[in-house]
Structure 1
Amino acid sequence: MARLLTLLAVAAVASAECTREGLLAAANSYVAAITAGKLDGLKLSSTNFTYMENNKKADLAKSGVLAQPLKIDLTRSTADVISCASYTLIVSTSGTKPYILATQLRHPGDDTTTITLVDTIAATTGSLFFNAAKTLGHLKAQNWGPIPEAERPSRELLKKYGDAYLDMWTDKDAAGSIQWGADCERVEGSQFTKPCGVQLPRGGSTKPNGMRRYVIDETVGSVDILCSFDSIGNYPDSHEFRLEGGKVKYVHTVTV
């Protein structure tokens, strides 16, 4: 009997594993909700759900993002099986308001179908360097496909480089601690810079960029960090990075 109970416990743990497939399925349900402009199909926790929009708690049902259906021109998602979270980028260039959405979903570790947190940076007309059509053109040309397993950056390196980038405004040595790819591209809102390892901040601010929330996906060599960009003015912000060959290949920011 004791052995049977042990086997059942092991099986329960195995079935509770946070899977990449489950995380991406939940992300797809979020994309479907944005497309339809309805909450139907989103399995939100009935006891422990929070919606954050631009770093503040809000009512998801009354959010401007879901007030009407959005025509989606580009979307892609990444998955973090350690944190049981996903990151989804959405670009919508048409409609009453164009949007670029940077959203992290979080789940209890035993159920990727249940969402406990929708955490989104919602940029629209008037946001920093906002031009959805220009951003779409830059991002459509990029490759965010899986990286060969033997070449994937570690979780530790992804977080290290993401943090170092956000530290550049307060730490004069942070930029030099990052390896930059020769063909690295940086898209800030709609502004395009290549290579992206030039014209970087070297300290000067006394306010670190805080409220950092991470989604790290070694499979595609990416880390997304939602934060408050306090170094230049308390702006809700998403910074996403892709590493290839241990060097930064892409930087993409969404700032309100």
Structure 2
Amino acid sequence: MGACEREFLAAFTSLYLNAQTVGNSSLFTNYMLQNYTYSENFAPANLSAPTSIVNQPLNSTNSRIFLDAYLCSAFTQIIVPEPSHPYVLGVRIEGNGKYVTKMETLVSDEGDWLFNATGAAYWNSKESWPPIPLADQDTRDVIKAAGDAYLNRFGNVNVTVPFGTPCARLEGGSAKYGVY
């Protein structure tokens, strides 16, 4: 994994979202390295199989995309509050600037811990994440340290996390307020 252009990540993510909407993974396979790896819920999977989540047409009402050109990686969250079968997907890709080399999909739906696609869609619609002006951006190390502290706190309540003020977090389909 290494640096690449944001345009590569944005183009692939756009193709992926279109493919997911119609349930047709072949719309982006030209971007996949010949020996790419694909997984669903941490298990190796066949991207082109009819059972692959990518080959299920999903009507997403909300998606959030994070592009990391430094690591040539992207993360996309997709919320599908369809009454017939709601989902929340987390899709992470890695690439080399020309092709996607790895795609990992976390599929959550009814019966999964804290699952609530309707609540997730509602609270996500209330958020606004405009780009942070370059002069106001923290360094990569500062952002990584904050993320590491947040995750480490799950195992050690004495870890200090630099929460924002006010602090609101989405857990499942619920908003949690305050510093924990």
Q: With the length of structure 2 as denominator, give the TM-score of the two structures.
A: 0.90
Partner of 2:148: 163
The count of corresponding residues between Structure 1 and Structure 2 is: 176
Structure 2 CA distance for partners of 1:127 and 1:180, relative to 1, 3 Å: same
1:70 aligns with 2:70: no
Partner of 1:123: 108
Distance in 1 of aligned mates of 2:33 and 2:131: 31
Deviation at 1:97, TM superposition (A): 1.7
Deviation at 1:64, TM superposition (A): 4.2
Deviation at 1:173, TM superposition (A): 2.7
Partner of 2:138: 153
In the alignment, structure 1 segments of 5+ residues that lack a partner are 1-15, 199-256
Q: Please, which of 181, 190, 194 is the counterpart of residue 177 of structure 2?
A: 194
What stretches of structure 1 move > 6 A for 4+ residues in a row? Answer: none
Contact 1:20/1:81 (<8 A) preserved: yes
Q: Please, which of 126, 146, 150 is the counterpart of residue 141 of structure 1?
A: 126
Partner of 2:32: 44
Larger Rg, first or second structure (1 or 2): 1
Classify the secondary structure of the residue corresponding to 1:61: coil
Classify the secondary structure of the residue corresponding to 2:158: coil
Q: With the length of structure 1 as denominator, give the TM-score of the two structures.
A: 0.65
Distance in 2 of aligned mates of 1:74 and 1:17: 28
1:10-45 residue CA offsets vs partner (Å, 9 max, x unmatched): xxxxxx961112211111111111101011221221
Partner of 1:91: 79
1:53-87 residue CA offsets vs partner (Å, 9 max, x unmatched): 11221112234413421011011211111110111
Distance in 2 of aligned mates of 1:154 and 1:17: 16
Q: What's the Cα RMSD here? A: 1.7
1:171-219 residue CA offsets vs partner (Å, 9 max, x unmatched): 3432x2x222221111111121112x12xxxxxxxxxxxxxxxxxxxxx
Distance in 2 of aligned mates of 1:52 and 1:17: 23
Contact 1:89/1:103 (<8 A) preserved: yes
Partner of 2:20: 34
Identical amino acids, percent of aligned pairs: 28
Q: Please, which of 24, 40, 45 is the counterpart of residue 58 of structure 1?
A: 45
Classify the secondary structure of the residue corresponding to 2:71: coil
Deviation at 1:136, TM superposition (A): 0.4
Structure 2 CA distance for partners of 1:171 and 1:192, relative to 1, 3 Å: same
Classify the secondary structure of the residue corresponding to 1:183: coil
Amino acid at match of 1:125: E
